[in-house]
Amino acid sequence: AQSVSQHNHHVILSEAASLELGCNYSYGGTVNLFWYVQYPGQHLQLLLKYFSGDPLVKGIKGFEAEFIKSKFSFNLRKPSVQWSDTAEYFCAVRSNDYKLSFGAGTTVTVRA
Amino acid sequence: GAVVSQHPSWVICKSGTSVKIECRSLDFQATTMFWYRQFPKQSLMLMATSNEGSKATYEQGVEKDKFLINHASLTLSTLTVTSAHPEDSSFYICSARVPSGSGWYNEQFFGPGTRLTVL
């Protein structure tokens, strides 16, 4: 069975600061990794995904993530956050039967 | 991206009653839909996989007789919480998997969720 661990429960930072959210996973099969964002009052949206190839993945809204196989990690980064990045961020791993397992989520609060 | 809707967006019911939640894929046909439950400040927990035309498969620990899932068409899956109790109060989210033939093949798109409060 797969599992996902997100290290930070709540991150507070100022606008223009850099953001990095940690994600570690465990899964014995082919790895499909995702980062989702949930803005207040809205549904989950896909930020980016990794299936294979270049381990540095670029997503929407200036986010990127790096897959490091040796560390079983898929950390999310953004060089300069905006107030509108305030949201809940979820890392997820997908198994071969398309089931998603989510991490506990990280609440990101960006202060203007 | 593809659009998934849920209805109702929130519902309040009395203990012992049943509540039906609908999940619809609006612009694509979904042979597979998933139902999740999210407690406050916690992650999404997969409850079951809903397959069109066949029985749903439930995750370990999820009572199939309590959470009835019906996937009668390629655009609609329903989750019925039977004999609801206060501990069933939660945020229920569905997702739909895009089938082959689309640029979003195998992606899952999420509905906005349904807030259930059982009094």
Q: Which are the contacts of A75, defined by CB distance < 8 A and separation ≥ 6?
A: A20, A21, A22, A23, A65, A66, A68
pLDDT at residue B1, as a whole number: 65
pLDDT at residue A12, as a whole number: 97
Residue A70 and residue B70: Cα distance in Å, rounded? 42
Query: Which pLDDT tens digits describe chain A residue by residue (112 residues)?
Result: 778 999 889 999 999 999 999 999 998 778 899 999 999 888 899 999 999 899 999 999 999 999 999 999 999 999 999 999 999 999 999 988 888 999 999 999 999 8
pLDDT at residue B113, as a whole number: 94
- The better pLDDT of the pair B92, B101 is held by B92
Residue A84 and residue A92: Cα distance in Å, rounded? 22
Q: Compute the average pLDDT of residues B53-79.
A: 93
Contacts of A91 in chain B (CB under 8 A): none
Residue A22 and residue B72: Cα distance in Å, rounded? 40
pLDDT at residue A104, as a whole number: 92
Helix (H) or strand (E) holding A88: strand A87-94
- The better pLDDT of the pair B43, B101 is held by B43
pLDDT at residue A98, as a whole number: 84
pLDDT at residue B43, as a whole number: 85
Q: Is the pLDDT of residue B103 over 80?
A: no
CB of A10 within 8 Å of any CB in chain B? no
Verify whether the Cβ–Cβ distance B108 to A43 is below 8 Å.
Answer: no
CB of A60 within 8 Å of any CB in chain B? no
Q: Which stretches of chain A are DSSP H helices? A: none
CB of B111 within 8 Å of any CB in chain A? yes
- The better pLDDT of the pair B42, B105 is held by B42
pLDDT at residue A29, as a whole number: 77
Q: Is the pLDDT of residue B4 over 80?
A: yes
CB of B3 within 8 Å of any CB in chain A? no
The model's confidence at residue B102, banded by pLDDT at 50, 70 and 90, is low
Encoded amino acid at B6, one letter: Q
Q: Compute the average pLDDT of residues B99-118.
A: 83
Q: Is B95 helix (H, G, I), strand (E, B) or coil?
A: strand
What are the percentages of helix, strand and coil residues in chain B, rounded to 5? 5, 50, 45
Residues 88-107 of A with CB under 8 A from B: 90, 97-105
